[in-house]
């Protein structure tokens, strides 16, 4: 029986959840999109004090859209070049992941999923937000596993929508709170800033937990979000992994 779902944003309605099964096996399939070059950069984790509240605050160094564009340079493949397999793309991204990351950081689902899985319809805008999150994770040299954690967290918190409302003063993709030190409302409502802020806090957790990549997804998400329903993030792992794979097959 799956854990109850709690979306921390105060939305009046949510998409119907559809239970999916067996999709993890499809993640080893062949990527079909055009390729691009990811040039990864790493950011040293900044110190952050823990909060015994629903969310922990963090001040993030934000990669600007221009800087992100420099790190993620898209170069269309020649039409005669055959598509790469996911394994080839994964290996390329792994070479550009920060050397200090564990091997499992380069796997979408290194320990499998926890509990029943759900899925939601994904609009073009939601896909754009997922792409922003993945690009930020790769640009910070964090690997595809961190991207899956971040996308799944945003799916739970806002259904991958950049909403301007939420519980208390929660806002944006990750329902971050200005009152908890995540930044100004204007900053949080910038998807690039919000993604970078979450990932910076995630890096800080990972730095103090070397085995993070082989922990359940919800444990890493909860370490940052401090949710009242910590395991709720787990239900989105399969679809989050599929979304990350879809984005990554377009960049290499």
DSSP single-letter state for residue 171: B
pLDDT at 38: 34
Angle between helices 143-158 and 86-95 (to 10 degrees): 100
Rounded CA separation 230/218 (Å): 6
Rounded CA separation 12/9 (Å): 9
pLDDT tens track for 121-134:
999 999 999 999 99
What are the respective helix, strand and coil percentages of the chain, to the nearest 5? 45, 5, 50
Angle between helices 237-248 and 124-139 (to 10 degrees): 70
pLDDT band at residue 154 using 50, 70 and 90 as cut-offs:
very high
User: Does domain 23-41+62-248 fall into CATH 1.10.530?
Assistant: yes
Q: Which two tokens stand for residue 84?
A: 């790469």
Closest by CA position to 34, among listed 88, 87, 70, 74: 74
Indicate if the pLDDT at residue 44 is higher than 90. no
The CA-atom distances, in angstroms, between 94 and each of 58, 99, 145, 175 are: 27, 9, 11, 30
Answer with the residue of higher pLDDT: 199 or 40: 199
Instruction: Mean pLDDT check: name the lowest of 25-34, 94-103, 173-182, 189-198.
Output: 25-34
pLDDT at 71: 53
Q: Domain boundaries in the chain?
A: 23-41+62-248
Region of 10 (left: φ > 0; alpha: ψ -120 to 50; beta: rest) is beta
Indicate if the pLDDT at residue 156 is higher than 80. yes
The CA-atom distances, in angstroms, between 30 and each of 50, 85, 140, 237, 249 are: 41, 4, 25, 20, 9
Indicate if the pLDDT at residue 46 is higher than 50. no
Answer with the residue of higher pLDDT: 115 or 63: 115
């Amino acid at each position: 029986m799956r854990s109850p779902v709690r979306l921390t944003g105060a939305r009046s309605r949510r998409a119907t959840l559809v239970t999916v099964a067996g999709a993890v096996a499809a993640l080893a399939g062949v990527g079909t999109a055009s390729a691009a070059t990811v040039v990864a950069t790493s950011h040293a984790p900044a110190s952050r004090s823990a909060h015994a509240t629903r969310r922990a605050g963090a001040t993030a160094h934000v990669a600007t859209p221009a800087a992100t564009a420099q790190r993620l340079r898209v170069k269309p493949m020649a039409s005669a070049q055959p598509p790469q397999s996911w394994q080839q793309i994964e290996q390329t991204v792994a070479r550009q992941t920060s050397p200090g990351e564990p091997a499992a950081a380069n796997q979408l689902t290194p320990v499998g999923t926890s509990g029943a899985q759900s899925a939601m319809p994904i609009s073009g805008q939601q896909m754009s937000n997922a792409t922003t999150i993945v690009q930020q994770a790769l640009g910070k040299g964090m690997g595809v596993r961190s991207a899956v954690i971040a996308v799944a967290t945003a799916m739970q918190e806002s259904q991958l929508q950049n909403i301007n409302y939420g519980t208390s003063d929660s806002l944006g993709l990750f329902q971050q709170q200005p009152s908890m030190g995540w930044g100004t409302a204007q900053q949080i409502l910038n998807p690039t800033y919000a993604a970078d802020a979450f990932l910076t806090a995630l890096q800080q957790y990972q730095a103090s937990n070397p085995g993070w990549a082989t922990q359940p997804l919800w444990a890493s998400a909860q370490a940052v979000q401090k949710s009242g329903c910590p395991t709720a993030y787990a239900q989105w792992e399969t679809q989050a992994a599929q979304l990350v794979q879809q984005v990554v097959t377009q960049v290499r």
